């Protein structure tokens, strides 16, 4: 089992990953170029652990054990004993490559060097190393201590041993592993695109307002948050950038086309909760400000338009299913890992492939074909896998 873990970058993700590794019993060295970031990380951990004590989840001794397992360091060289280093610094290829090639001069020959990147290819990061076979993607979700899923992404250079060791370590840290191919968005950030994109498209066509779309997905789909609430929560700048990055990385496949509506919000600084305004308005505590006119309008749409709500839900769901099926078709990950990724990484109420089985593969194909017939747009093309399964009358899970 891996004992010494180095973490580079003590921001949101690095701090969370350090907590996870320290809780699992690893000796963690957390490095950042900024002393203020290290101090902030230390103070934040103290607060989190105190809250866990208050809730009765851990005791004082456990808090001390976790804190005792983390040391805060301010040179990269301090990570030289690390058997595994996970980098969580700024999302910039040049900077990551420089840090990786410097780190490699300090660590032992069989040390694993991993990146938590969300959008860069692992192959491009690995290429900065003398021994690229030691590099792998280990992608946590925010907040890392709470989200069960970790995507593990071997690059084409990664050795089998490194993949096995990384997968085992993440399982030892009590996380659910989904192994993904080194492709844009890995699993979650690719498969989730239609949740936002199709909802925005429905809005842009003037079929429904934000509230009606959110309500349809929450009531009929049992999603915890509607797409517009979620985009406001994530930040329209962040969510737009992910979409644009995925769209570009897929050589402009129209299925991932970003939306002008979201771009304008982002340009206007209507970023969501963090700026007090996005698709909705928020007070200074980040709570939704609901105007009475909104309530009246949403009650009207709810009672008069259950058929519209069903249409909205079906359309977003089938696009998500199509994306999940296509990810399986293109061997991005196994069916189990694709479903686990969405339920454990972004809290979907059901795995999308299991959902497809439940709705019927014939329903999925027909709903997609109807959309394609109506729009004649490539974004509605049905995955060849769904079509084949429909012909052969098979399901994803038996």
Ligand X SMILES: NC(=O)c1ccc[n+]([C@@H]2O[C@H](COP(=O)([O-])OP(=O)(O)OC[C@H]3O[C@@H](n4cnc5c(N)ncnc54)[C@H](O)[C@@H]3O)[C@@H](O)[C@H]2O)c1
Which residues would be at the binding site for ligand X (CB under 6 A)? Answer: 8-14, 31-34, 37, 88-91, 95, 99, 116-118, 140, 142
Catalytic option among 189, 259, 266, 322: 189
Residue placing its CB nearer to ligand X in the complex, 58 or 143: 143
Q: What DSSP designation does 113 have?
A: E
Minimum CB–partner distance for residue 142 and ligand X (Å): 3
Minimum CB–partner distance for residue 174 and ligand X (Å): 18
Residue pair 215/208 in contact by the 8 Å Cβ criterion: no
Three-class secondary structure of residue 168 per DSSP: helix
Helices (H), ranges, 135-192: 160-172, 188-191
Residue 189 appears among annotated catalytic residues: yes
Minimum CB–partner distance for residue 112 and ligand X (Å): 17
Residue 151 appears among annotated catalytic residues: yes
Quote the CA–CA distance of 71 and 85 in Å, as a whole number.
Answer: 14
Quote the CA–CA distance of 78 and 103 in Å, as a whole number.
Answer: 10
Token pair 């290429």: residue: 127
Residue placing its CB nearer to ligand X in the complex, 184 or 221: 184
Helices (H), ranges, 205-351: 210-219, 227-234, 236-249, 260-268, 292-304, 306-329, 335-345
Residue placing its CB nearer to ligand X in the complex, 203 or 348: 348
Q: At residue 178, what are phi and psi to the nearest 5 degrees?
A: -120, 120
Catalytic option among 87, 151, 198, 229: 151
Minimum CB–partner distance for residue 391 and ligand X (Å): 39
**What contacts 364, CB < 8 A, 6 or more positions away?**
318, 321, 322, 325, 356, 382, 386, 390
Residue placing its CB nearer to ligand X in the complex, 31 or 380: 31
Minimum CB–partner distance for residue 61 and ligand X (Å): 29
Quote the CA–CA distance of 288 and 181 in Å, as a whole number.
Answer: 38
Residue nearest to ligand X (CB): 11
Residue 139 appears among annotated catalytic residues: yes
Catalytic option among 87, 128, 139, 340: 139
Q: Which residues of 106-143 are buried (b: 16+ CB within 10 A; e: fewer)?
A: bbeeebbbbbbbbbbbbbebbbbbeebbbbbbbbbbee
Minimum CB–partner distance for residue 202 and ligand X (Å): 26
Nearest 10 degrees: Cα torsion 209, 214, 220, 221: 140
- Which strand (E) or helix (H) includes residue 112? strand 112-115
Residue placing its CB nearer to ligand X in the complex, 186 or 203: 186
Quote the CA–CA distance of 8 and 32 in Å, as a whole number.
Answer: 6
Residue placing its CB nearer to ligand X in the complex, 9 or 258: 9
Residue 215 appears among annotated catalytic residues: no
Catalytic residues: 118, 139, 151, 189
């Amino acid at each position: 089992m891996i004992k010494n873990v180095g973490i580079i970058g003590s921001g949101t993700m690095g701090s969370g990953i350090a907590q996870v590794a320290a809780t699992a019993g690893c000796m963690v060295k957390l490095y950042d170029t900024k002393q203020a970031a290290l101090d902030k990380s230390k103070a934040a951990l103290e607060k989190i652990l105190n809250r866990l004590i208050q809730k009765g989840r851990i005791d004082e001794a456990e808090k001390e054990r976790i804190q005792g397992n983390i040391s805060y360091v301010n040179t990269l060289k301090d990570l030289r004993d690390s058997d595994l280093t996970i980098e969580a610094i700024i999302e910039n290829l040049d900077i990551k490559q420089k840090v990786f090639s410097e780190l490699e001069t300090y660590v032992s020959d069989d040390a694993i060097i991993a990146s938590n990147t969300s959008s860069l290819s692992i192959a491009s990061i690995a290429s900065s190393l003398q021994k690229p076979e030691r590099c792998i993607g280990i992608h946590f979700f925010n907040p890392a201590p709470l989200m069960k899923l970790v995507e593990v992404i071997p690059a084409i250079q990664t050795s089998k041993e490194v993949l096995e060791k990384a997968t085992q370590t993440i399982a030892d840290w009590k996380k659910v592993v989904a192994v993904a191919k080194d492709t844009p968005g890995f699993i979650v950030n690719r498969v989730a695109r239609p949740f936002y994109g199709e909802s925005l498209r429905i809005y842009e066509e003037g079929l429904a307002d934000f509230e009606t779309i959110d309500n349809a997905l929450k009531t009929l789909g049992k999603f915890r948050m509607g797409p517009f609430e979620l985009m406001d929560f994530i930040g329209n700048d962040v969510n737009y950038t992910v979409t644009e990055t995925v769209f570009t990385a897929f050589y402009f496949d129209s299925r991932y086309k970003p939306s002008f509506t979201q771009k304008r919000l982002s340009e206007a600084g209507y970023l969501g909760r963090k700026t007090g305004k996005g698709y909705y308005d928020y007070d200074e505590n980040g709570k939704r400000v609901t105007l009475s006119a909104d309530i009246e309008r949403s009650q009207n749409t709810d009672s008069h338009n259950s058929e519209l709500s069903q249409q909205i839900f079906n359309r977003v769901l089938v696009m998500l299913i199509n994306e999940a099926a296509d990810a399986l078709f293109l061997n991005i990950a196994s069916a189990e890992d694709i479903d686990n990724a969405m339920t454990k990484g972004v809290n979907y109420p059901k795995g999308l492939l299991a959902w497809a089985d439940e709705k019927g593969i014939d329903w999925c194909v027909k709903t997609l074909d109807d959309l394609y017939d109506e729009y004649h747009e490539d974004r509605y093309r049905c995955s060849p896998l769904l079509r084949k399964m429909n012909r052969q009358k098979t399901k994803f899970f038996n």
